[in-house]
């Protein structure tokens, strides 16, 4: 490892600054284009030592846990708190523009819909047992070291206020010294906690953890590796006007505000469709919003998520009929011949995208498509397939659901071109 003086010329896709050197690119976290720095360099990675000349876009980060100059170890939960807002928004929008251009897609990309501090209702903490008790926080960048946090500027105020409770719960769950994940979802009925750990619980440990959970305030449910341990009251999320009790550990959009924006875009585009199919529907994030105006057929591979959607729809008032189908859309996509009866289609796949499904949609005659993705690269691939099949993009909206990270949500709206 050697100390070098570097000029940072651009940002990489993960938010690291990049310096061009005679021996190749060097990636340095917590730096910005325009910075002149010294860094300890090892195999193309740099550790920031000092900023000699600061970028004009460098600002003071709002979180004491962020960056190499933080009082505590560097929290890896955020990548770009040190970047001025306008430059940050341009960079994040640029991730979408670059992904589309890499596929030869020329279309207008809207301004980034900004995220707000304390808006993350779903937070994934790292935790482990130590000699002095449990540590709860986030992994240091490029490391398995857990940085304990006393506050988090992206998490909701209720999650921040509950950090002592969550730390006690982590201590109750920790078996041995192996690290585990504690996912916290802030719901109307209380916190939904899901533990994912590389260890097993004995019956005695289950009973002990349940007893601890009963005593803690504000916890609605606790699950361990998908097994429900205790549900004091069903967690509640609202999709449109419908209340849903999501399954333990089920997928939930990270920000309620971002979800509402995505929902408005999708439902606005498909509101005139009498029949809509919602692919990768989950527990009904878009299905139950779309059902305000349309008959909706929801398709999802996860049985528990689909069951939650079905229950919510059956008990809801003032919505159109909703039908459900369990189906692995990667192995068995809905065929174009099955899409003949629909005037609208929405899909929101995992990060891997929906290549096989997009090929079937491209052969269909569904007039309007709403494509939602948390990965601009796979979205661009799927859009390329749809465009080749005769669809045209009417709008692309990037949404900053994951504030100060390298992740961006995108909603693309398409219409079938007339043949």
95 versus 147: the higher-pLDDT residue is 95
- Per residue in 327-341, pLDDT (tens digit) is 999 999 999 999 999
- Per residue in 296-307, pLDDT (tens digit) is 999 999 999 999
Which one of 75, 78, 152, 374 is the catalytic residue?
A: 374
Query: Quick check: 71 pLDDT over 60?
Result: no
Residue numbers in the known binding site for S-adenosyl-L-methionine are 253, 280, 300, 348
Strands 24-28 and 122-130: what pairing? unpaired
77 versus 358: the higher-pLDDT residue is 358
74 versus 274: the higher-pLDDT residue is 274
Overall size of the chain counted in residues? 419
Widest CA span in the chain: 69
Residues 89-98 have a mean pLDDT of 97
Which one, of 85, 33, 91, 94, lies nearest residue 62 by Cα? 85
* φ, ψ of residue 204 in degrees (nearest 5): -60, -40
Domain 92-115+251-416: give its CATH code.
Answer: 3.40.50.150
Q: Tell me whether residue 152 is one of the annotated catalytic residues.
A: no
pLDDT at 24: 92
Confidence class for position 2, pLDDT limits 50, 70, 90: confident
Residues 86-103 have a mean pLDDT of 97
Q: Which of 39-48, 98-107, 135-144 has the lowest mean pLDDT?
A: 135-144
- Per residue in 245-269, pLDDT (tens digit) is 999 989 999 999 999 999 999 999 9
The chain-wide mean pLDDT, for the chain, equals 94
- Per residue in 133-185, pLDDT (tens digit) is 889 999 887 778 898 998 999 999 999 999 999 999 999 999 888 899 999 99
- Per residue in 108-132, pLDDT (tens digit) is 999 999 999 999 999 999 999 888 8
Which one, of 262, 252, 331, 270, lies nearest residue 299 by Cα? 331
Residues 367-395 have a mean pLDDT of 98
pLDDT at 69: 62
Check for a shared fold between 1-58 and 122-187+189-231: yes
Domain 1-58: give its CATH code.
Answer: 2.40.50.140
- In the CATH scheme, what architecture does the domain 122-187+189-231 have? Beta Barrel (2.40)
pLDDT at 301: 97
CB atoms within 10 A of CB 150: 11
pLDDT at 419: 54
Confidence class for position 227, pLDDT limits 50, 70, 90: very high
* φ, ψ of residue 339 in degrees (nearest 5): -95, 5
Tokens of 395: 């709008």
Return the domain boundaries, the chain. Answer: 1-58, 92-115+251-416, 122-187+189-231
Cross-strand bridge partners of residue 412: 371, 396
Q: How far is it, in rounded angstroms, from Cα 162 to Cα 140? A: 22
Cβ atoms of 294 and 266 within 8 Å: the answer is no
In what helix (H) or strand (E) does residue 290 lie, and over which residues does it extend? helix 287-290
Q: How far is it, in rounded angstroms, from Cα 237 to Cα 261? A: 16
Query: Quick check: 72 pLDDT over 90?
Result: no
Q: Full-prediction pTM beyond 0.75?
A: yes
Confidence class for position 357, pLDDT limits 50, 70, 90: very high
Residue numbers in the known binding site are 253, 280, 300, 348
Which one, of 409, 370, 353, lies nearest residue 278 by Cα? 370
């Amino acid at each position: 490892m050697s100390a070098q003086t570097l000029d940072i010329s651009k940002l990489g896709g993960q938010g690291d600054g990049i310096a061009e050197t005679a021996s190749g690119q060097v990636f340095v976290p917590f730096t910005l284009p325009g910075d002149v720095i010294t860094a300890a360099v090892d195999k193309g990675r740099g550790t920031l030592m000092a900023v000699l000349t600061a970028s004009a876009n460098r600002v003071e980060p709002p979180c004491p846990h962020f960056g190499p100059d933080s009082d505590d170890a560097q929290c890896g939960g955020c990548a770009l708190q040190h970047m001025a807002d306008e430059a940050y928004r341009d960079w994040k929008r640029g991730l979408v523009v670059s992904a589309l251009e890499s596929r030869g897609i020329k279309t207008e990309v809207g301004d980034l819909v900004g995220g707000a501090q304390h808006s993350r209702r779903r937070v994934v903490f790292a935790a482990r047992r130590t000699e002095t008790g449990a540590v709860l926080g986030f992994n240091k960048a490029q490391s398995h070291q857990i940085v304990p946090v006393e506050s988090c500027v992206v998490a909701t105020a209720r999650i921040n206020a509950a950090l002592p409770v969550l730390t006690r719960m982590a201590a109750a769950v920790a078996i041995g010294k192996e690290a585990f994940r504690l996912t916290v979802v802030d719901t109307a009925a209380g916190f939904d906690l899901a533990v994912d750990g590389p260890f097993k619980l004995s019956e005695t440990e289950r009973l002990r953890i349940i007893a601890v959970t009963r005593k803690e305030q504000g916890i609605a449910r606790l699950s361990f590796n998908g097994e429900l341990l205790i549900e004091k009251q069903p967690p509640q999320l609202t999709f449109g006007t419908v209340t849903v009790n999501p399954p333990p550990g089920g997928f939930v959009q990270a920000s309620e505000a971002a979800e509402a924006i995505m929902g408005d875009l999708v439902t606005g585009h498909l509101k005139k469709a009498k029949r809509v199919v919602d692919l990768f529907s989950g527990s009904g994030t878009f299905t139950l919003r779309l059902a305000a105006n349309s008959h909706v057929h929801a398709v999802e591979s996860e049985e528990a998520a689909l069951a939650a959607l079905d229950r919510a729809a059956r008990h809801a008032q003032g919505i159109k009929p909703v039908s459900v189908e369990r189906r692995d859309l990667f192995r068995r996509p809905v065929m174009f011949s099955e899409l003949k009866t629909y005037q609208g289609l929405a899909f929101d796949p995992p990060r891997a995208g929906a290549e096989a499904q997009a090929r079937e949609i491209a052969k269909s005659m569904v007039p309007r498509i709403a494509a939602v993705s948390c990965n601009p690269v796979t979205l661009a691939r799927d859009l390329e397939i749809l465009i080749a099949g005769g669809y045209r993009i009417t709008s692309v909206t990037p949404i900053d659901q994951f504030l100060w990270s390298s992740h961006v949500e995108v909603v693309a709206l398409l219409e079938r071109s007339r043949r």
